[in-house]
Amino acid sequence: TGKELVARTIHELSRRRSGPFVEVNCAAIPEELIETELFGHVRGAFTGSVADKPGRFEQASGGTIFLDEIGDMSLKTQAKVLRVLQEQVMERVGGTQRIRVDVRVLAATNKDLLAEIRAGRFRDDLYFRLNVIPIFVPPLRDRPDDIPVLADHFMAVMAAEYGRRPKRLAPEAVARLQQYAWPGNVRELRNVIERMIIMVAGDTITAQDLAFLGRDRDTLYEPPAAAAGRLAEARDQFERDYILRALAAAQGNMSKTAEVLGVERSNLYKKMKAFGIAPRR
């Protein structure tokens, strides 16, 4: 939904903008390494620690630290983070020296932390210490008016990256984008626009080009009404979407696509022609 973008904007508009912005993805770091990552370690603290290493809190001193997906942090690490927030001092793993840090802490999560507290997976004292100014970042499906603006932005970015002219979204294509539920939020929209830049031969993206997107805002995919009762049409729709996905994964390379699909290139061309898919030049 753009949580990191919001965090960076807060930092850049603050009096700390000249200081560092340090991001930590708590979900991506193994539990046994998260303390070392956050607080650093001293030489000899564990096997392989041949030198002192500052942690992310030290690196962010004078600036901002962004703790993304804090709901995935272990209870043990939560207790140590709470101490840093309350006392503004920390110790490196294996060390005894108290190090003072001056950081603005921004934390984000996609979990319901109150539910996590009730389940015993998140400390209530850390929650109330962090929850000074809450900012709700809505999912893309709740901001349909943003979709055309974001689509135009990603269109310009992708066109420059691939050395092509930006394509125009037909009104019905914009409507299709706004009707989709976007479970993958902004990243999914970016990927869809990249796929359109690669796969659509003309200058205009139509609703038919976006047929692989679900029509129901509450589902990932809903077959067209006409296909629901006609097996042949449903099969053709699936086959067309399957070919489009394979082409996108191979970046339009016909030989690779044919190999992945297990068909001859000539047969692939025939299928694409039948489904109205233009090959990438």
- Confidence (pLDDT) at 219: 43
Digit-by-digit pLDDT tens for the chain (281 residues) are: 889 999 999 999 999 999 999 999 998 898 888 989 999 999 888 877 788 999 999 999 999 999 999 999 999 999 999 999 999 999 998 888 999 999 999 999 989 999 999 999 999 999 999 999 999 999 999 999 999 999 999 999 999 998 989 999 999 999 999 999 999 999 999 999 999 999 898 899 999 999 988 644 444 444 444 444 456 666 777 788 788 888 877 778 888 888 888 888 888 888 888 887 877 65
Rounded alpha-carbon distances, angstroms, from residue 277 to 197, 202, 220, 243 = 13, 11, 23, 9
CA contacts within 13 A on the Cβ side of 212: 18
Cα–Cα distance measured from residue 197 to residue 172, given in angstroms and rounded to the nearest whole number: 17
- Confidence (pLDDT) at 231: 61
- Confidence (pLDDT) at 169: 95
Report CA dihedral (36, 41, 43, 48) to the nearest 10 degrees. Answer: 0
Q: At what angle do helices 265-274 and 254-261 cross, to 10 degrees?
A: 100
Contact 200, 162 (CB under 8 A): no
Write down the residue that tokens 């679900």 correspond to.
214
Q: Provide CB contacts within 8 A for 14, sequence distance 6+.
A: 64, 104
Contact 139, 185 (CB under 8 A): yes
65 burial (CB, 10 Å; 0-12 / 13-18 / 19+) is: buried
- Confidence (pLDDT) at 214: 67
Strand pairing class (21-25; 64-68) = parallel
What does R_g of the chain's alpha carbons equal in angstroms? Answer: 25
**Can you tell me whether residue 105 is helix, strand or coil?**
strand
CA contacts within 13 A on the Cβ side of 17: 7
Pull the structure tokens for residue 229: 């009762």
Of 215, 195, 214, 200, the residue nearest 170 (C-alpha): 200
Q: Provide CB contacts within 8 A for 174, sequence distance 6+.
A: 147, 148, 151
